[in-house]
Amino acid sequence: MSLEKAKIGFLEAFGTEPAGVWSAPGRANLIGEHTDYNNGFVFPVGIDRRTYVALSPRKDMLCRISSALDAKTYEYEISKKMPKNLDWALYPLGVAWVMRESAKSGFDAYIVSDVPVGAGLSSSAAIECSVATALNEIWSAGKSRQELALIGQQAENEVVGAPTGIMDQTASMLAQKDAAVMIDCQSLETELVPMGLSSQGLVVAVIDTRVAHRHSDGGYRSRRDACEKGAKKMGVSSLRELGEADLPQMEEKLDDVTYRRCKHVVTENRRVLDAVESLKKGDLARLGELLLQSHASMRDDFEISVVELDTAVELAMEVGAVGARMTGGGFGGAAIAIIDESKMELLREHCKAIFAKKGFAEPNVFSVAPSEGARKDA
């Protein structure tokens, strides 16, 4: 169990028992991709794959991070400038840097995670939110869950250099069991919407293509730049202010690529709102249609899918999924599908066989359950 692994790892790395263990989930975004930094709507779930951090305060201001990820221990002194050569440790130490005004001490921390890295399930937000929750307690910082989500986003934007929006951290902090979190990224208002999948024998399947992606690479940035360019040319502060009625004027004013990027965001916002209503009505068939429309938009207009993701979506539908789409920032990662739990093995075998036939890496296919957000475990 990851909780015990975190405790044991801490003891082996630092020679004492940790003061506590905190955790936060990865997330699967049901629908609403690349809408968050455009002040739009997103609809993620927390998943039952989590990152655990065992942590103890120190008597000095040194922060030390160790992990099951590699054999190194990374160090940073809070009063100093944040170094850049810290690899994955930029995520947790970046959180400490953002929270430095609340810092009462340094800390030792050991991290264990079963959130797949590079799969579009936000392993980075799970690290940020588990560490932020731990530091909020040991430093008596008094931050709300929403404030901790913003701290995680700031660490990712300013320290890691990934221009991500607020969705991942908000989902990781606020998620609840068997519910999805509707997030208005402009007002930061949230609404928990019961999914009721388990009562119908349904699960959220994840098809991890094992095509790794990184948000700090240029593809993500260029999409964000196109959205900002489109909004500026349309005379609005963000694409949130535009609706589908504005599409003809957008097509007239914008070059083809910028138009298609902006069209995806505008139509995706509508799809998120429709998906929320579909779930509230129990209309899973309509939800499935919206997932497929979302994938097509990301493939054709936003151009962030890859052939492995398109194949995963097709295969999920072939074995009887309600709906499927790529999830996450794109250029690799995972697809999700809502599917009957009894079909999981068939999905796994079908994906494995067809991916092998096409010469792709073997996918990792597993189911996740909507689960609760950041918490103290021990």
Cβ-contact 354, 315 below 8 angstroms? yes
> Coil, strand or helix: which one is 43?
strand
- Strands of the chain (E only): list them: 20-31, 41-57, 62-67, 73-77, 107-113, 179-184, 190-194, 202-211, 323-327, 333-340, 364-368, 375-376
- The span from the CA of 264 to the CA of 286, in Å, is 19
- The span from the CA of 236 to the CA of 238, in Å, is 6
Geometric angle at alpha carbon 172, from 243 and 204, rounded to 5°: 75
Burial class (CB in 10 A: 0-12, 13-18, 19+), 81: exposed
- Strands of 114-245 (E only): list them: 179-184, 190-194, 202-211
Residue 217 CA neighbour count, 13 Å, CB half: 10
Query: Does residue 208 carry a catalytic annotation?
Result: no
Which residues 6+ apart lie within 8 Å of 20 measured at CB? 54, 55, 56, 134, 137, 138, 376, 378
Q: Which residue among 108, 168, 208, 301 is the active-site one?
A: 168
Q: Known catalytic residues? A: 168
